[in-house]
Amino acid sequence: DEREKVPRGHVPMVTGCGARVVVPVRLLRDPCIAELLDMAAQQYGYGQPGVLRIPCDAGHFRRVVDGALHRAD
């Protein structure tokens, strides 16, 4: 399925409302993304099966990713 393909160097994540967002791996070191990953670990645990779930709505997560992209440039 074309929707399931993830570009090399990216990781798929799913927000609390179920929206799928593909994030460049290089952004995982960004402090804001790392904080959301910590929140996900606290809420869902480290043994999440499948795609990483992020405990926030899609709009907020996309804004965090956009900010991280801007800082990474």
Q: Quick one: pLDDT at residue 31?
A: 97
The pair of structure tokens assigned to 64 is 């965090």
Q: Quick one: pLDDT at residue 48?
A: 81
Residues of the chain with pLDDT under 50: none
User: For the whole model, what pTM was predicted?
Assistant: 0.84
Q: Quick one: pLDDT at residue 1?
A: 55
**pLDDT of 24-41, one tens digit each?**
999 999 999 999 999 999
- Is residue 45 within 8 Å of 8, Cβ to Cβ? no
Would you kindly state where each structural domain of the chain is located, as residue ranges?
9-72
